[in-house]
Amino acid sequence: MDRRIARPSGASRLAVADRSVSAAGPASPSFPDLCRDLDLDRIRATLMLLGVVLHAADVFLTTGDWLVADRHRSVVFDALVAMIHSFRVPGFFLLSGLLFAGSLGRHGAPELLARQLLRLGLPLLACWTLLNSLQMALMAWHRGADPWEAVFSLNTPMYHLWFLRDLLVLDVLVLAGAMLLGSSTLRHGRAAGPLRRLAQRWNQAVTTGLTPRLAGLGLHGPAHWLGVALAGALLHQVLLIAVRLSGVAYDIGPGGLTLFSLFFYAPMFFAGLAMWHRPAWLNAWLRTPLWLLPVAAFLADWGDGASSTLSGAFAREAALTVQLLGLWVATGAAVGALGRMRRGARSPFGRLLSDASYTIFLVHHLAVVALALALLPMDWPAALKFSLIAAGALAFSLAVHLWVVRPSGLMRLVFNGRPPVAEAPSPATAEPRRA
C-alpha cells in the first residue's frame, strides 16, 4: 500500500495524542476513547502483506493484462484482485494521513521534511534504480531481448513504488502549506508579521465560526458511516473535476506522475489529516458493516471500467462517482474490520511480519515476477501456481529482511529509511530487580 506509511514515535496505535475539539461545539471523544483497539502497525502490515496476494493473483487475471500473464486463468482471481484493490491503497493513504497529522504536531516542518525524504525518498530511489531495473532486465531476458539494454534505457517504470512517490509529493505539499500559513513556526513562537496574523485569523475563524455551524448541522462528528462515505465521495469527485478542468491533469511528469493520478487517492490522505483532529468522523466511518465490502468492491470495479468506456460524458461521471463511493465504503469496512481484529499479544511471527512489512512491500514485486516467469512453462492448476508464487515471494522478502536489511545499519537506512541509532551506554550500577 501506505506511502512509506510513517511509523509513529513510541506508540504504534492510533492513540497518538489525546486531542479534543474546540469548546465552541460539543466535545468530541479523543482517540484513546474511540480507537483504543486500533493497532496501526497490524493494519499497515496486513495491507502490505495483501500486496503479495494481490500481485500473485494479477498473474491469473482473465484479461491477461498484467506484467506476466499465465495461460491458466480464473474469474476467482478477478474477484480477489477487485476486492483487495478496493481498500488496500485507499487504506494506505488514510493511515498515512493520520500518522502524518500526528507528526505535524510533534515536529517542525524542516525537520519533518528531512525525515520524510529519508524514510520515503531514499528507499524509493534505491529500489527504483536497483530492484526495478533488475526486474526490467529479467523480463527483457525472458522475451529474448538484451537485458543490459533494458537496464540502461533510463525509462525504468515505477511499478508498485508509485505509492511512495505520490505520498512523498503529498507530504511536501502539506508541509509547504503549513510553512506558508506559519503553523509550524507559530507552534514555537517564531512566526512574524503577515503570516502570524493570517494564521491567527484562520484559527479564530475556524474556532468561532466554522466549528459551531458544523456542530449545528450535525457534521461535527457524523453519527453514521454512510454520511462520511457520501461526503467523502462527493468531495472526492469535486476535486477530480477541478483537477481535470486544469487542462494539465494527464501531462506526464517525473517518474510517470500525473496530476490526476496524484489526486485520485489524495482525498484519502487528506481525510486522514482531518480525522486525526476529528476522531468521531473516523470512528463513524470505521463502523461500516463488513458485509458491504464485496458489494462496494463490485461497485468500485464496475465504476472503474465504466468511467472510461461509457459513451456519454454524464454517464462516465456517474460511473466515476459510483467507483469513488465504492472505494470509501470498502475502505471504511475493511480498515475498520482489520482494526478490530486485535486479540491479545502478537505472536513472534506476527511481530516479525510487522517489522519486515516495509521490506516486504519493496521487495515482493520482483519476487512475484521472477517466480511467475519461472512457472509459466508448467502445466499446473492456477490455484497451485498462485500459492507457490505468493508463498515464495513472501519467504524471499522475509529472507531479505532477516539476512540483508535488518543486520546492517546501512541496509536499514537504504531500504527502510531508518538511520542507525546509537546504543545507550550500560549503567554503571546494576539495576534493581524484583525479588
What is the per-residue burial (b if ≥16 Cβ within 10 Å, else e) of 82-102?
A: bbbbbbbbbbbbbbbbbbbbb
Q: How far is CA 409 from CA 39, 223, 353, 406, in A?
A: 27, 47, 19, 7
Evaluated on CA atoms 204, 208, 209, 213, the torsion sign reads positive
Helix, strand, coil tally for the chain in percent (to 5): 70, 0, 30
Largest CA-CA distance found in the chain, in angstroms, rounded:
78
| φ, ψ of residue 10 in degrees (nearest 5) | 80, -90
CA proximity to 163, closest of 28, 324, 47: 47
- Bridge partner list, 13: 39
Query: Residue 103 has what pLDDT?
Result: 87
What pLDDT does residue 431 have? Answer: 44
Residue linked to cell 506558508? 180
**pLDDT tens track, the chain, 435 positions:** 433 333 334 334 334 333 333 333 444 555 545 545 567 778 888 999 999 999 999 999 998 889 999 999 999 999 999 999 999 999 999 999 998 988 887 888 888 999 999 999 999 999 999 999 999 999 999 999 989 888 887 788 999 999 999 999 999 999 988 877 764 444 444 444 454 454 455 445 444 444 444 444 444 444 689 999 999 999 999 999 999 999 999 999 988 899 999 999 999 999 999 988 888 889 899 999 999 999 999 999 999 999 999 999 999 999 999 999 999 999 999 999 998 876 566 778 888 888 999 999 999 999 999 999 999 999 999 999 999 999 999 999 999 999 999 999 999 999 999 987 655 554 444 444 433
Do the beta carbons of residue 1 and residue 95 sit within 8 Å?
A: no
Report residue 109 CA to chain centroid gap. Answer: 21
How far is residue 213 CA from its own chain's centroid? 32
Query: Which residues pair with residue 39 across a beta bridge?
Result: 13
Residue 401 is classified by DSSP as I
What residue type is assigned to position 196 of the chain? Answer: R
SS3 418: coil
**Residue (of 325, 366, 344) closest to 52 by Cα position:** 366
336 close to 286: Cβ distance less than 8 angstroms = yes
Contact 232, 271 (CB under 8 A): yes
Q: What are phi and psi of 285, to 5 degrees?
A: -65, -40
Torsion-angle region of 218 (φ positive above 0: left; ψ -120 to 50: alpha; else: beta): left
Which residues, other chains included, contact 121 with Cβ-Cβ below 8 Å and sequence gap of 6+?
Answer: 168, 417
Residue 290 confidence (pLDDT): 96
231 in helix, strand or coil?
A: helix
Q: Which three cell numbers stand for residue 66?
A: 498484467
pLDDT of 278 reads 85
Half-sphere exposure of 147 (CA within 13 A, CB side): 9
Phi, psi (degrees; rounded to nearest 5) at 41: -60, -40
User: What is d(CA 74, CA 95) in angstroms, rounded to the nearest whole number?
Assistant: 32
What was the pLDDT predicted at 422? 56
| C-alpha–C-alpha distance, residues 151 and 149, integer Å | 5
Alpha carbon distance 287, 225 (integer Å): 6
Output the pLDDT for position 149. Answer: 86
Non-local CB neighbours of 324 within 8 Å, separated by 6+ positions = 232, 233, 236, 237, 240, 303
